[in-house]
Structure 1
Amino acid sequence: MENLEQQAFSLIVHSGDGRSYAFEAIRASKEKDFEKAEELLKLSSKEFEQAHHVQTELLTMEADGNSSILSLLLIHAQDHLMTGITVKQLAEELIEIRREINMDKEKNKNIQ
């Protein structure tokens, strides 16, 4: 099993990558490339799944009585995970709004 420091860094890396993919998806939707945005959101989800796996390992260790030392690094890693997940959720909503606006514009263009 990885040591606590390695697990914290793994959380940070996967969460950061997931957040980055979510922001890339927002940018793709701004360019009306919704297919690319969806693919980037899938990549984001995969990164957060990996981060969640690490988090689950830590929680399982704690539940088994192997309490970990609470460190600033671990708190920082958890912060990355939670803010990254929030960014992804907001990206999903923003992309859906952009998709709806784009569809409305296309529909209005065809009416005129």
Structure 2
Amino acid sequence: MDEQEKSIFQIISASGDSRGSAFEALRLARKGAFEEANEKMQEAKEKSIIAHDEQTRLIAKEINGEKTETTLLMVHAQDHLMNSLLARDLIEEMIEILKEQKMK
């Protein structure tokens, strides 16, 4: 496995972990466990940072003249990253709605 493939798998793995933590946070919030949900959302953010940092490293290499081969695996990694970021953002909003409903 070459360096680019390792980076791709790092993006996929961290993105998947982030998405999983975000959905676990939503399940906890639906049960009213908002403190635990916040902890899971923090985990989701930390995993997103790992994936985003790896993506940024690949982009910086390309800017510096090291072309990145666009493979189906790379597209898959980008898809995972963007979907995990979107899921996390939407779940944050959903948790806030659940909190508001609980206060009523």
Q: TM-score category by the smaller chain?
A: over 0.9
The answer on 1:23 being equivalent to 2:26 is no
- The aligned counterpart of 1:6 is 6
Unmatched segments (≥5 aa) in structure 1:
105-112
Shift of 1:51: 0.4
Aligned CA-pair RMSD: 0.7
TM-score normalised by structure 1 residue count: 0.91
TM-score normalised by structure 2 residue count: 0.97
Structure 1 stretches of 4+ with a deviation exceeding 3 A read none
Shift of 1:78: 0.5
- The aligned counterpart of 2:40 is 40
Shift of 1:45: 0.2
Determine the C-alpha separation between the residues in 1 that align with 2:103 and 2:34: 11
Determine the C-alpha separation between the residues in 1 that align with 2:69 and 2:16: 23
Higher Cα Rg, which structure: 1
Shift of 1:86: 0.3
Unmatched segments (≥5 aa) in structure 2:
none
- The aligned counterpart of 1:79 is 79
Alignment length (residue pairs): 103
- The aligned counterpart of 1:108 is none
- The aligned counterpart of 2:93 is 93
Determine the C-alpha separation between the residues in 2 that align with 1:69 and 1:33: 44
The alignment partner of 2:85 has SS state of helix
